[in-house]
Amino acid sequence: MLRRLVWPVGVAALAAALTGCFNSAEPVSEIYGSTMGSTYSIKWVGSAQSPAPAEVKASVDQLLEEFEDAASTWRPSSEMSRFNAAPSGTCQAMPQSILELVQLAERLHQDSQGSFDLTLDPLLELWGFHGDGGHQGVPDEEQVAAAMARTGHQHLHVRDGQLCKDAPLQLDISGIAAGYMIDQVVEHLAGMGIKDYMVEITGELKADGNKPGGRPWRIAVEEPRDDSRVAQLVLPLRGLGVSTSGDYRNYFEHEGQRYSHTFDPVTGRPVMHDLAAVTVLHPSAAWADGLSTVLLVKGSELGWQYAIEHELPALFVIREGDGFVSRSTPQFIALQQSKE
């Protein structure tokens, strides 16, 4: 398990796979497993040259385990745990995977004017979102300020293959790690000649090629409901990763006010706007993962403006009274209307 929260922190709505019913004679292989405190699943269309499912599973499990061994904050010996425990001014050699994640996060941080940040762990702990039995409540201004002093992506740097921090930061990569590992698994499958696939890790997903019958893989995007799971719409996927972030499952209420687990890095407080969920599609699952968090943090107006400016396929689900309304960017509409 990479962190104490339900993985990942930015994802509250599952993009569920609609694989349909396959004839047993059709060459569809499936494997499942555990990773990052949750699960993964992979489906692919095999051929006579494809490795056996057991071989694919063994190699994928090893890939995911190596990543967790480096990145898990539950493993005291991991590089991530040692980096988080080190004092301000520390530089430490890190695996390429973590360096790439930090560099991707830096681009998201800069492009979004600070709406994406890997260093918010002290705030999550302060507000009781660690999932470790801590008290959930509203801290005072001094407590928020003290926690904010231990955050800030600007204090995190990659220098000559090392990760450095200028403040006593605790790094939390859960906002993009699942998407990043989907991209790594997809590359790994391609190396084994598997091109028609659907990969899901902890609710993040990417698919390409065709399922049997020549139809693309499809996903169902959930309606934001607290008590059930209902498909809002179905989309075909062609080489795209999909991520949905929402604030309607992991939250607490205090004096009639709802506080979600998604934080604005600029204010140090949970987002309090009317955007309930946002789904983003992108050729990179890691970028989809990070961008869905960015848009949720920015909200229904600034997030919409950001999505339009960056030409993102995105679906916004906005609270209106006792219900929800949806708003899709032109790029999202084009994908939705594309022929299967």
pLDDT (tens digit, 9 = 90+) per residue, 315-333?
A: 999 988 888 899 999 999 9
CATH 1.10.3980.10 assigned to 83-165: yes
SS3 category, 160: coil
Q: Is 193 left (phi over 0), alpha (psi -120 to 50) or beta?
A: left
**pLDDT reported for residue 9:** 29
Sign of CA dihedral 34, 125, 286, 212: positive
pLDDT (tens digit, 9 = 90+) per residue, 36-59?
A: 989 999 999 988 888 999 999 999
CA distances 13 to 47, 109, 246, 248, Å, are: 33, 23, 6, 8
pLDDT surpassing 90 at residue 189: yes
pLDDT (tens digit, 9 = 90+) per residue, 291-322?
A: 999 999 999 999 999 999 999 999 999 988 88
Sign of CA dihedral 261, 264, 265, 268: negative
**pLDDT reported for residue 258:** 67
pLDDT surpassing 70 at residue 75: yes
pLDDT grade, residue 246 (50/70/90)? Answer: confident
Give me the phi and psi of 269, to 5 degrees please: -125, 155
Q: What torsion, rounded to 10 degrees, do the Cα atoms 293, 299, 305, 307 define?
A: 20
pLDDT grade, residue 18 (50/70/90)? Answer: very low
pLDDT (tens digit, 9 = 90+) per residue, 129-163?
A: 766 555 777 888 999 999 999 999 999 999 999 99
Nearest residue to 136 via CA among 251, 2, 267? 251
pLDDT surpassing 60 at residue 214: yes
Q: What is the average pLDDT score of the chain? A: 85
